[in-house]
C-alpha cells in the first residue's frame, strides 16, 4: 500500500483540487491519503477531507516535520509519499512510486514544472530532472519505503525548516538508493508572486549553503522569514 501524507496549513482551496486528482489516479492501486493539518489551521480543510473520504488529523505540535511524522504514525502503507498541498501529481503518480520501490530502490523524487509558463521558471524546473545541490526539496515529493523511513527515525522534529533536505542528507549518508522520476509534478509558483525571481533564487541558494554548513535550523527559519514574503503561510509556524 502507498500512503500519501499531506501536511497542510489553511490549504482548503488547494485540497479541493488535489484530493479528487489523487483518488482518481490511485483508484487502481491499494493506497490511502492522509492529510495532517497544523495546530493553528483555521479553514475548512477537515470538512473537505471528509467530503473526499480522506482521513484527516490535526497535529497539536508546530512544525511540518512533526506533521509528517504524525501522518506516518497513522499510516498503514509499505511505502510513504510526502506531498505538499499546492503540488499536483502527474498521471501515473502511484504507478511510478510502486514500480520504483518494488524494483529495489529505497527512495525517490519526482521532477517538476511550475504552474506558470515562464522562461526563468522553466530554467529552475530543469534542474529537478538531475541530481544536484537542490535535490531533495519538499516540492519534489519524497517517496520512500516504510522500513527505510523508520530505520532513519523519520523526519527530525527539531528541523523547523528544510526538514526535507535534512532527511535526504541522511538517506545519502546511510547509502540508501534513490532516483528521480522524470514525470513532472506541477508546482505552485505563488512564492514568485510576492518576491522577484532573483530574490527567491538567491535566498534559496543562501539557505542551502548555510544548511550544508550546519547553520542552526531556528536561525535558518528566521532568515527565511526575513528574506522572503510568503503571506499564504504568514500564520503557519512551519
pLDDT digits (tens, 9 = 90+) for 158-190: 999 999 999 999 999 999 999 999 999 999 999
- Domain borders along the chain are 2-190
Q: How far apart are CA 105 and CA 118, in angstroms?
A: 33
pTM: 0.94
When pLDDT is cut at 50, 70 and 90, the band that residue 237 belongs to is very low
- Per-residue pLDDT, averaged over 10-21, amounts to 97
Q: Give the per-residue pLDDT at 230.
A: 76
Q: How far apart are CA 162 and CA 183, in angstroms?
A: 23
- Per-residue pLDDT, averaged over 47-66, amounts to 96
Fold of 2-190: Spore Coat Polysaccharide Biosynthesis Protein SpsA; Chain A (3.90.550)
Q: Where are the alpha helices (DSSP H) in 27-145?
A: 45-51, 64-74, 93-102, 119-126
Classify strands 31-37 and 55-58 as parallel, antiparallel or unpaired. Answer: parallel
- pLDDT tens readout for residues 82-111: 999 999 999 999 999 999 999 999 999 999
- The SS3 assignment for 61 reads coil
- pLDDT tens readout for residues 125-161: 999 999 999 999 999 999 999 999 999 999 999 999 9
Q: How far apart are CA 123 and CA 102, in angstroms?
A: 32
Amino acid at each position: 500500500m502507498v500512503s500519501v501524507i499531506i501536511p497542510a496549513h489553511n490549504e482548503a482551496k488547494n485540497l479541493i483540487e488535489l484530493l479528487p486528482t489523487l483518488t482518481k489516479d490511485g483508484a487502481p492501486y491499494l493506497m490511502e491519503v492522509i492529510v495532517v493539518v497544523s495546530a493553528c489551521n483555521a479553514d475548512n480543510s477537515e470538512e473537505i477531507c471528509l467530503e473526499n473520504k480522506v482521513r484527516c488529523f490535526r497535529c497539536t505540535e508546530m512544525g511540518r516535520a512533526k506533521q509528517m511524522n504524525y501522518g506516518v504514525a497513522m499510516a498503514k502503507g509499505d511505502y510513504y509519499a510526502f506531498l505538499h498541498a499546492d503540488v499536483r501529481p502527474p498521471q501515473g503518480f502511484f504507478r511510478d512510486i510502486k514500480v520504483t520501490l518494488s524494483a529495489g530502490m529505497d527512495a525517490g523524487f519526482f521532477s517538476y514544472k511550475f504552474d506558470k509558463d515562464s522562461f526563468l521558471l522553466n530554467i529552475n524546473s530543469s534542474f529537478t530532472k538531475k541530481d544536484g545541490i537542490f535535490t531533495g526539496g519538499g516540492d519534489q515529493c519524497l517517496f520512500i519505503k516504510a522500513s527505510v523511513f523508520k530505520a532513519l527515525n523519520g523526519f527530525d522534529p527539531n528541523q523547523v525548516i528544510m526538514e526535507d533536505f535534512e532527511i535526504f542528507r541522511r538517506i545519502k549518508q546511510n547509502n540508501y538508493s534513490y532516483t528521480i522520476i522524470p514525470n513532472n509534478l506541477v508546482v505552485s509558483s505563488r512564492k514568485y508572486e510576492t518576491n522577484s525571481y532573483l530574490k527567491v533564487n538567491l535566498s534559496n541558494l543562501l539557505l542551502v549553503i548555510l544548511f550544508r554548513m550546519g547553520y542552526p535550523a531556528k536561525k535558518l527559519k528566521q532568515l527565511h522569514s526575513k528574506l522572503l514574503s510568503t503571506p499564504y503561510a504568514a500564520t503557519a509556524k512551519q
